[in-house]
Amino acid sequence: MLKLPVYLDNNATTPCDPRVVETMLPFFTETFGNASSRNHAFGWAAEAAVDLAREQVAALIGADPKEIIFTSGATEADNLALKGVFEMYIDKGNHIITTEIEHKAILDTCKHLEKQGAEITYLKVNSEGLPDLKELEAAITPKTIMVAIMYANNEIGVINPIKEISAIAKRHGVLMMSDITQAAGKIPVDVDRDGIDLAAFSAHKLYGPKGIGALYVRRKSPRVKVTAQLDGGGHERGMRSGTLNVPGIVGFGKACEISLGEMEEEGKRLAVLRDKLENALLQLEESAVNGFRAQRLPHVSNISFRYIEGEALLMGFNKNIAVSSGSACTSASPEPSYVLTSLGLGDDLAHSSIRFGLGRFTTEEEIDYAIKAVTETVNKLREISPLWEMFKEGADMSSIEWSRP
């Protein structure tokens, strides 16, 4: 039985897995101790739970538990990585290389650092969403301290060649930082294999609770240090003060354990559903996938439907289907998605895009429903789109004769 509304926005956030919630519950009421309370049983129990969770989180990305710094989420972890490395390595240099299509937590932090004297290179990406590795290498200077490039993009799901990127960074003695938020728990991430020195991610993207995340900080070859951004009790090896969010950490650990165990099978299942959705929607004329199809997260599809506007499209079914659009038709923020425009999409196509993010609880019945609803709405809106009419009549779309008001 299909239950509405259907949730297909799992890149924004995921529901907590019930197994995660069940594991967390005792840590609100019974095992509520402060993990830093070293001299009584309540503290010891909390600490033991945090230790286990730290192992579970570390195992997901092939790290040592000591290399996991718990934070409030990926945004804080991104901030800590960028600002912390910039401050710690300022004697070595002030140059950081990133890409134009990073998450705002990276881009806005870079903008902040520029005001503090940092030099930031924002690499362009090609039409498939990938940076040019030659350009990356050419951008490295003696002042470069870090390359910060996401593992997989949140809007288009394209996976970066992190191993190749980190090899370039390593060759020049530059740290490799990656926001792995969208990739962790979805595809295999291994900090040693991938050559990552710092990695930011969060629990709520992998069926854990909101408000908890982590920064992986490499301890050996090289030993990486970051300057703390919060002063206080010196928790998390001095890198992140603040009483540990024990229930959140426990949930994060459980979520990582489940994701690691189910990743392979789940990835295959989601790829089948995603491909079904995508292939069906590509049957619509003038629809196209955004981003490199062959190298994507298995659960993401970003599609543009030319000659209709994304927000209008959503309006046709957003009571029953939750997705996200690359369009924002308000005078406050008239900008279409910067990720899509970086791919070289015109504003019109960027405005016509929809991101589908499938997840652990997505069923085939839901996908069938989405295919039907989206197809119907696209056809209906094209019926009333003057651009679609002109296109179908073979008009030259680049030289439309506009009226003068």
Partner 1 sequence: MDYAAKVMDHYNNPRNAGKLDIASLNVGTGLIHVSEYIEVVRIQIEINPAKNIITDARFKTFGCGSAIAAASLTTEWLKGKTPEDAFKINNMDIVEALSLPPSKIHCTILVEDAVKAAINDYRHKNGLEALQEEALESNYELEGM
Question: Is 329 among the catalytic positions?
Answer: yes
Binding characters for partner 1, 289-328, by CB under 8 A (x = yes): ------------------xxx-xx--xx----------x-
| Binding window for partner 1 (CB under 8 A); candidates: 10-18, 261-269, 362-370, 394-402 | 394-402
Among 21, 59, 167, 387, binds partner 1 (CB under 8 A): 387
Among 172, 334, 364, 365, binds partner 1 (CB under 8 A): 334
- Which CB atom, from 117 or from 405, has the smaller least distance to partner 1? 405
Q: Cβ 327 to partner 1, closest distance in Å? A: 8
E strand map for 13-101: 68-71, 95-99
| Binding window for partner 1 (CB under 8 A); candidates: 64-72, 259-267, 359-367, 381-389 | 381-389
Q: Cβ 350 to partner 1, closest distance in Å? A: 8
Among 264, 275, 364, 383, binds partner 1 (CB under 8 A): 383
Q: Where are the alpha helices (DSSP H) in 181-309?
A: 191-194, 246-281
- Which CB atom, from 222 or from 346, has the smaller least distance to partner 1? 346
3-state secondary structure of 139: helix
Q: Cβ 384 to partner 1, closest distance in Å? A: 4
- Which CB atom, from 91 or from 401, has the smaller least distance to partner 1? 401
Instruction: For residues 376 and 50, give the distance between their C-alpha atoms in angstroms, rounded to a whole number.
Output: 49
Q: Cβ 307 to partner 1, closest distance in Å? A: 6
Instruction: For residues 289 and 224, give the distance between their C-alpha atoms in angstroms, rounded to a whole number.
Output: 39
Question: How many Å from the N-terminal Cα to the C-terminal Cα in the chain?
Answer: 53
Assigned token pair, 37: 């309370």
Q: Cβ 366 to partner 1, closest distance in Å? A: 23
Instruction: For residues 279 and 100, give the distance between their C-alpha atoms in angstroms, rounded to a whole number.
Output: 29
User: Which of the following is catalytic: 16, 110, 256, 329?
Assistant: 329
**Crossing angle of helices 246-281 and 364-383, rounded to 10°:** 60
User: Residue 72 corresponds to which amino acid?
Assistant: S
Q: Cβ 277 to partner 1, closest distance in Å? A: 24
Q: Does 396 bind partner 1 (CB under 8 A)?
A: no
Decide the pairing of beta strands 144-148 and 175-179: parallel
Instruction: For residues 103 and 85, give the distance between their C-alpha atoms in angstroms, rounded to a whole number.
Output: 18
Q: Does 132 bind partner 1 (CB under 8 A)?
A: no
Q: How many CB atoms lie within 10 A of CB 369?
A: 18
- Which CB atom, from 66 or from 392, has the smaller least distance to partner 1? 392
Among 269, 347, 373, 379, binds partner 1 (CB under 8 A): 347
Among 164, 192, 275, 389, binds partner 1 (CB under 8 A): 389
| Binding window for partner 1 (CB under 8 A); candidates: 26-34, 121-129, 166-174, 385-393 | 385-393
Among 204, 240, 351, 360, binds partner 1 (CB under 8 A): 351
Instruction: For residues 219 and 353, give the distance between their C-alpha atoms in angstroms, rounded to a whole number.
Output: 42
Instruction: For residues 301 and 289, give the distance between their C-alpha atoms in angstroms, rounded to a whole number.
Output: 7
Q: Does 402 bind partner 1 (CB under 8 A)?
A: yes
- Which CB atom, from 283 or from 333, has the smaller least distance to partner 1? 333
- Number of shown-chain residues binding partner 1 (CB under 8 A): 30
Q: How many CB atoms lie within 10 A of CB 281?
A: 20
Burial class (CB in 10 A: 0-12, 13-18, 19+), 156: buried
| Binding window for partner 1 (CB under 8 A); candidates: 50-58, 119-127, 185-193, 377-385 | 377-385
Instruction: For residues 304 and 281, give the distance between their C-alpha atoms in angstroms, rounded to a whole number.
Output: 10
**Crossing angle of helices 310-317 and 364-383, rounded to 10°:** 130
Q: At 208, phi and psi to the nearest 5? A: -110, -175
- Tokens 């003695």 appear where? 173
| Binding window for partner 1 (CB under 8 A); candidates: 87-95, 133-141, 143-151, 329-337 | 329-337
Q: Residue 267, CB half-sphere, CA atoms under 13 Å: how many?
A: 15
Q: Which residue(s) pair with 238 in the sheet? A: none
Q: Cβ 377 to partner 1, closest distance in Å? A: 10
Q: Which residues participate in catalysis according to the annotation?
A: 329
- Positions touching partner 1 (CB under 8 A) are 307-309, 311-312, 315-316, 327, 329-332, 334, 336, 347-348, 351, 383-389, 400-405
